[in-house]
Amino acid sequence: MNQGILSKIIAFFELLPEENIALFRVDFGCFFDDMNILQKKKYLNEILKVLSPDKTLYWIALEELADCFCEEKNYKKSISLFTSMIEQNEQGSVFQLLGYYGRAWSYYEMEEYDKTLENYTAIIEYGSWINEKHKFDDIYDSVIPFHIFPMEVYEKRALLFRYEIPFKENITKENEFELKAIAEYSKAIDIAKKMPKNARHLAGYYFHRSVLYKEIKEFDKTIEDCSAIIALGKEAGDLLEYAIEEQKMLCLKKGDKGNEF
């Protein structure tokens, strides 16, 4: 390992503003783009040897190393490293939340969906302050990585209930998991509605919920969600056309049946 190069890497990143963690993480990850995973792990281990946990770069490097083990499908090791991030960082801090997110993804890849949900729940519980202190349109320029925003985590939980857990569990109630997914999308919608310049993601949450309502034959609620997308106008993007056509079709169907489905 070229210690001169290693020292320059550390010195460069330590010059970056401590508070701008998002920029810090993106720039650091780009450094390894041309390396294979073994080279990347060697550099990261060397960096971790010379840094202490009170340095931001230490936790950025540890997260990158954990991601390497995920890529190698060594989930036992990635979970161990992400757990270190959780246990050794302040409750609700960005790196603790990133630890929960990484550990959730590792459990997801192992098809341990209950543990995946537990870790997503922890992000929502400990990261609720994110929605209060950071505007949605500033996410990519702020200290908060987008994927640990609670409304995004609600969507991930919804996807688990919709596509993964039903195939692992015994379904005891009609539409049990569809209703759980709908509840998660509803929570995401409630948060997103309060945040500015958020039409594209809000439309997405309405879209997915409308599809679920249609699957369980709650057509009036499907129409309501389509109306919500239409109300967002052009900011809803491609989903605007979907909502107009879907609403038109369902309203015609309702009219043909005497105002009832």
Give the gyration radius of the chain's Cα atoms: 22
User: What is the full DSSP assignment across 106-163?
Assistant: HHHHTT-HHHHHHHHHHHHHHTTHHHHHS-GGGGGGSSS-GGGSHHHHHHHHHHIIII
CA distance 251 to 34: 54
Report the alpha-carbon distance of residue 230 to residue 202 in Å, rounded. Answer: 12
Q: Rounded to 5 degrees, what are φ and ψ at 169? A: -115, 160
53 and 6 in contact (C-beta within 8 Å)? Answer: no
Q: What is the pLDDT of residue 259?
A: 54
What's the pLDDT at 114?
93
Q: What is the per-residue pLDDT for 141?
A: 52
pLDDT of residue 128: 73
| pLDDT on residue 135 | 59
Q: What is the pLDDT of residue 50?
A: 85
Element (H, E) at 178: helix 176-192
pTM of the entire predicted model: 0.85
pLDDT at 22: 57
Please give the single-letter amino acid code of residue 120: Y
Euclidean distance between CA atoms 149 and 26, whole angstroms: 17
CA 93/CA 130 separation, integer angstroms = 10
pLDDT per residue as tens, the chain (261 positions): 556 666 766 776 666 665 566 566 766 777 777 789 998 899 899 889 988 898 888 998 999 999 999 999 999 999 999 999 999 999 888 899 999 999 999 999 999 999 999 999 999 998 877 766 665 555 555 567 777 788 889 999 999 999 888 777 666 678 889 999 999 999 999 988 887 777 889 999 999 999 999 999 999 999 999 999 999 999 999 999 999 999 999 999 877 554 555
